[in-house]
Amino acid sequence: MKPFANKPRIAFFDFACCEGCQLAVLEMEEKLLELLSHVEVVAWREVMSEKSDEYDIAFCEGSITRQEDVERIESIRDRAEILVSLGTCASIGCHNALKNKWPMSDVVKLVYGESAGHIDTIPARPIADVVKVDYRTLGCPVSLSEFETVFKRILTGQAYEPPNQPVCVECKLNDTLCVYEKGIVCLGPVTRCGCDAICTAFGDACRGCRGLIDQANIEAPARVLFGEDLHPIMAETARKNKLNREEIMAKLTVYNDTATSANREDSADGDG
């Protein structure tokens, strides 16, 4: 990594996603204008009609879900000196990877019915599964403090990796009351922090949108709610939410392709 001598040219691209991460970046408003004063924006479909294929830094949002996406991201990789995966769809697969649990032929028939035949779809993959990614950002939508950090680190030639501690660490730093105390099931103990625990700060549960920490003990959330000799707070939380073990495990796979990636080879049956 080295700092850019002149103003680098940046471009934004989207693959399969809701484009909410780009919208979140736009909502930075004045802070975004300050960041953009250090670069030249040459392509950003969501905000401008001009576009150029000459860029230094590519921010890429969304998952790779079609063969044509593979070719497009490879072409972007060839052109960009720095490639950033923007948000959870791009970095770990997010909701798109839920389809990997089923054969692709079943998925397209379910969605498109009789018209399924011409649909190009392959098991969803994060961008780093297809090309080299230089910087990863997470969150659904992307954590804006992390976007800003990554933006500045790129310009100053410094590396960045999302932190590998659970969201609980940020709750403690912020002095936030644990939502389990209020009978709310929270995935923070196994979710990667870096969002400043924003949901729990407002009294809501962490739903795991930044993905699992490395070597997350994904059995633990179910065990502390449904094991024997439960702590009274956990027993009350389990009773109040009427969740069973399978429902807890399903919550854990909403944003994470971990549980579904093992099926990719099986589900890529070429019917898509």
Q: Using CB under 6 A, list all residues that contact ligand SF4.
A: 17-21, 61-62, 87-89, 94-95, 139-141, 167-168, 171, 176, 178-180, 186, 188-189, 191, 195, 197-200, 206-210
Q: Which residue number, 81 or 163, has a Cβ lying nearer to ligand SF4? A: 163
**Nearest residue to ligand SF4 on Cβ basis:** 188
Both structure tokens of 178: 């644990």
Q: Which residue number, 86 or 116, has a Cβ lying nearer to ligand SF4? A: 86
Helix or strand or coil: residue 63?
Answer: strand
Beginning with the edge strand found earlier in the chain, give each strand of the sheet holding 57-61 in spatial order.
Answer: 40-44, 9-14, 57-61, 82-86, 135-136
Amino acid found at 91: S
Q: Which residue number, 96 or 261, has a Cβ lying nearer to ligand SF4? A: 96
Minimum CB separation of residue 114 from ligand SF4 in Å reads: 28
Q: Which residue number, 122 or 171, has a Cβ lying nearer to ligand SF4? A: 171
Both structure tokens of 104: 């692709």
Minimum CB separation of residue 83 from ligand SF4 in Å reads: 17
Q: Which residue number, 121 or 191, has a Cβ lying nearer to ligand SF4? A: 191
Minimum CB separation of residue 123 from ligand SF4 in Å reads: 17
Minimum CB separation of residue 169 from ligand SF4 in Å reads: 8
Amino acid found at 76: I
